[in-house]
Structure 1
Amino acid sequence: MVGNEKVDAVEVGLKTQPAPGVTLNAAAFYDYRDAQVPVIVPLGNGALGLTTTNFFNIPKSRSAGFELESTWRVTPRFDITGSYSYLDATIRRGPRLFDDPNQPGTVLIDLAGKRSPTSSRHKFYVAGLYDLPLGAAHLLFAGSYAYRSSAYYDVFNSPTGRAPGWSQVDGRITFVSPSQRVTVIGYVRNLFDTRGYVGAAGNNGTGATGFGQLYAYTPPRQISAEIQFRF
């Protein structure tokens, strides 16, 4: 039986304009109780590789950190935006659970001090937008770079549950007709076809390093176009 997840959130923010055309914002702190986390559990004989996912409550965990956001209007037609966040998400008090789902009862793990699943310590983002006028029409060029540091995808912080940090570059070109009724957009996601991670686990559900590792990846490079009509 899994109890309700409760969140007591406190946020302190600051918004500034240190120079003309420049804004700088900062903020954040969060505190969780009885967070619900998934744990892979074997069904019957672990050698068969059959598993299920059960949810457990973590009595106390904390996510504390800060985020900086900034925009800079370099020229009336060129804007730059960026953000950086640092997050210290750790389990403060938790139950003693089994580390290796395929070998229950052999290794008891104290979860206190472990990083919370899916939480990256560092995230960075920067984007630029340039507006090129073509008479009454507009041609917009946009690009962005995002980085996310490594993260664990299990509460045990096992080597097989850790995914490396990764980055991604996106680009977009937008044409807006003089009447602004027709917009044509061409964009590419993951321009350099880099490998991003959204999950990690041991092979066949085991946390033992000798069993190998499975990753869940972000989509590869995507090139698309669309046209919009306004009536």
Structure 2
Amino acid sequence: GDYDAWTGTLGLQWQPDSDTNAYARYSRGYKSGGWQASSGLAPIPYADPEYVDNFELGLKKNVGRRFQLNSALFYADYQGFQAPLTVVLDPAAGLTGSQFVNLDAVSWGLEMEAQWAPIDHLQIFASYSYLNTEIKSGCCFVDTADPKALQAGARPTGVVLPDGSRLQTLVGNRLPITPENKLNLGLNYTVELAEGDLVLGATYTFTDEQQAVVFAQPGFRSPSNEVVDFRALWKDADDRYTVIGYVKNAFDELAYQDFRTGAPSASGIQRTTLKPNFPRTYGIEFQYRF
């Protein structure tokens, strides 16, 4: 294979005053084609190149010395989005294999970040993102975990294969690993002492449910989750050493980075493959500057 493409960015920036920055930007992205090195027996191991045209409008604004807001609207048009997919190779024998398919898709949304210092030593920050994604072309495939397209979210085309499997279109489904909503809240408070500074912080993160693959059935959907982290940092007055203590996922919330239900066995049993997040994790870090 031999792949190449031109990429680049074109932008305009406007600063009417020292506290305001507005911009418009266009970017052209590219991901080369390739093949699945781990699937030597795949019938079609190759993937074509992937391209994206991304448009973004943004505004950054300071209000006084205590509040800052950053916001951005974006629209991304994917051509040839590379998606690994399990496909049916021989319906009569029930033989499946993994191959890349190239899909057309769009992604658009909003991102906002804010920082607020209502009083000295206290900083409150928040970020929110809304993401809408949709596959625009992609047909026709058998969902090996739902071969007869009976699950909610299935999009059968009406074509039935000799083994009873039904082909589905992917048009209208979301792209994988794209939660619709994500929210982050946090604060830091600094206690100034003669011996040094103590910074106490906490963050809360909400992540919406998300699909693991391009099929929209519930067997590939990981539920939403909420994670809370705590952190304490001590820095001496001479800035010679720093001690950091932290607790990640303080309430031991179970969340999944990947969630997939496999094809039913002859006895009707389905195996679910999960990739969970880290459980409650705590530790301490010591830094010394010579």
TM over 0.5, yes or no? yes
The two structures have a TM-score, normalised by structure 1, of 0.89
Structure 2 residue 80 is matched with structure 1 residue 24:
no
Q: How far did 1:57 drift?
A: 0.8
Alignment partner of 1:211: what SS?
Answer: coil
Choose the corresponding residue for 1:124, options 183, 186, 189.
183
Choose the corresponding residue for 2:227, options 162, 168, 185.
168
Equivalent position amino acid for 1:31 in 2: D
Structure 2 residue 84 is matched with structure 1 residue 38:
yes
Q: How far did 1:127 drift?
A: 1.1
Structure 2 residue 227 is matched with structure 1 residue 155:
no
**Residues of 2 paired with 1:176 and 1:46: CA distance?**
68
The aligned runs of 1:28-177 (5 Å cut-off) are: 28-41=74-87, 53-58=98-103, 60-100=104-144, 103=147, 105=161, 106-177=165-236
**Residues of 1 paired with 2:236 and 2:63: CA distance?**
36
Could you say which structure has the higher helix fraction?
1
1:193 aligned partner: 252
1:52–1:137 Cα change, 3 Å: farther
Q: How far did 1:19 drift?
A: 5.0
**Residues of 2 paired with 1:45 and 1:108: CA distance?**
11
The two structures have a TM-score, normalised by structure 2, of 0.72
Any stretches of 5+ residues in structure 1 without a counterpart? Answer: none
Alignment partner of 2:117: what SS?
Answer: strand
Equivalent position amino acid for 2:174 in 1: R
1:142–1:51 Cα change, 3 Å: farther
**Residues of 2 paired with 1:205 and 1:134: CA distance?**
63
Per-residue CA shift, 1:49-86, capped at 9, x if unaligned? x976422111x101101011101012220001101110
Percent identity between the aligned chains? 31
Alignment partner of 1:191: what SS?
Answer: coil
Q: How far did 1:214 drift?
A: 3.0
Please tell me whether Structure 1 or Structure 2 has the larger radius of gyration of its CA atoms: 2
Alignment partner of 1:64: what SS?
Answer: strand
Q: Is the 8 A contact 1:163 1:215 kept in 2?
A: no
Q: Is the 8 A contact 1:51 1:205 kept in 2?
A: no
**Residues of 2 paired with 1:203 and 1:101: CA distance?**
5
**Residues of 1 paired with 2:262 and 2:92: CA distance?**
12
Aligned length: 227
Equivalent position amino acid for 2:239 in 1: Q
**Residues of 1 paired with 2:173 and 2:278: CA distance?**
29
2:9 aligned partner: none
Equivalent position amino acid for 1:137 in 2: G
